Amino acid sequence: MKPLFLATIVFFIVASCKKDENNSPDPEEQNLASIFIDPISNISGDIAYSGGDIVDNGGSPIDLKGLCWSTSPNPTIDDQRTNKGSGDEDFTAEIFPIEFNTIYYVRAFATNGVGTAYSDEISFTSTNECTMNIFDGDVVLTSQSEINAFGLNNYCKITGDLVIRQPQNTTTDLITDLSPLENLRYIGRLWVDDTTELEDLDGLHHLSFIFDSININDNVLLANIDALGAVDSAMTSIAIRRNNSLINVDGLSGITTLIQPTGYSNPPHVYISSNPALTNIDGLGGLVNVTDDTGIALSNVPLITQVSGLSGLSGTLGNLTLVNMPGLINLEGLENIRTVGGI
């Protein structure tokens, strides 16, 4: 009987072990986390805010979470992103830095041991609001070194004039690059004069408000003024004169209105003169609101063949001057002007 008794004991021990093994709980299944994104808020200049709500960590600790964004849809953590650390807690984050007046796509993300999960995508458009430093008064920049130094101060507004004027006959520290001024949003009058190496106005591309006037004169290599394309404020005058390489004035396309200067008797006016490479004035096509005493003067622009860029003008002009334009084929574009004080 003893062998049978021992066999019975061994059987129950083995069976008991197998039963314990069968009843062991399965390890928790791990998945990607689940995360929602908060609405975009407080959009201001080069910054905006959002956040993420982690609904489920997927059964694995959250090692990294934050926001990612791009100017293209479906941003990932390989694009620009914020890092809000680890853990399952909801978070708020800055979307910074961003370009002004730009559409951005944003997703919240959470990374656990399985991988990175993303929220649905939302988009927003940044503003052109001045959120940096303001310079009170006029600014005169006469060399590339001065432009570079001024740019380091992160000014976004100049209450007075911005004068970029290279001294005549200088051969050192020439003005070649306006990109250090890229934070500027608002200025008074703009003057760009007497440069010999400046080819474009890139760096002024965030300007949206110029108070009073635009003056671009005597620049040897300046080929375009496209960087002014975001400017849509009313002007009292526009003067584009003696720029040997200027091909077009497309950078003026956002300007729709000419107004009477406050405190001055001179009427509003547009002067485009002595630009031998200028092929068209289509950039003036946005002009639709002008006073009855406004003056328009085109002279010494031999390559211009038509003036359809003035087709938005109607009613009465104070003065219209077309002088030394041997390439001009017709006057199409002036049909809506009923009365001219002088022509």
The pLDDT of 321-336, averaged and rounded, is 94
Three-state DSSP at 303 gives: coil
Q: Output the pTM of the full model.
A: 0.73
- Placement of tokens 């984050």 in the chain: 93
**pLDDT band at residue 164 using 50, 70 and 90 as cut-offs:** very high
* Stated length of the chain: 343
Contact 110, 31 (CB under 8 A): no
User: By the 8 A CB rule, do 60 and 143 touch?
Assistant: no
* Residue 26: band (very low, low, confident or very high) from pLDDT cuts 50, 70, 90: low
Positive or negative: CA dihedral 254, 269, 277, 163 = negative
How much is the average pLDDT of 15-24? Answer: 47
Whole-angstrom CA distances from 204 to 178, 185, 330 are: 7, 8, 35
Query: By C-alpha distance, which of 93, 121, 126, 88 is closest to 107?
Result: 121
Residue 98 backbone dihedrals phi, psi, to 5 degrees: -130, 155
CA 252 to each of CA 56, 63, 125: distance values in angstroms, whole numbers, following the listed order: 53, 51, 23
* Cα gap 79→263, rounded to integer Å: 51
List of domains in the chain: 34-125 (2.60.40.10), 133-340 (3.80.10.10)
Beta bridge partners of 67: 108
CA gap 296, 305 in Å, rounded: 17
Q: One-letter amino acid identity for 247? A: I
For the chain, percent of residues with pLDDT exceeding 90:
78
Task: Write the pLDDT tens digit of every residue in 187-213.
Answer: 999 999 999 999 999 999 989 999 999
Q: Which amino acid is at 307?
A: V
Q: Find the angle CA(296)-CA(235)-CA(129) to the nearest 5 degrees.
A: 150
Containing 41, the helix (H) or strand (E) segment is strand 41-44
The tens digit of pLDDT for each residue in 272-314 reads: 999 999 999 999 999 999 988 999 999 999 999 999 999 999 8
How far is residue 6 from each of residues 3, 12, 138, measured CA to CA in Å?
Answer: 5, 10, 106
Instruction: Compute the chain's Rg from CA coordinates.
Output: 33
In angstroms, the CA 96 to CA 76 distance is: 16
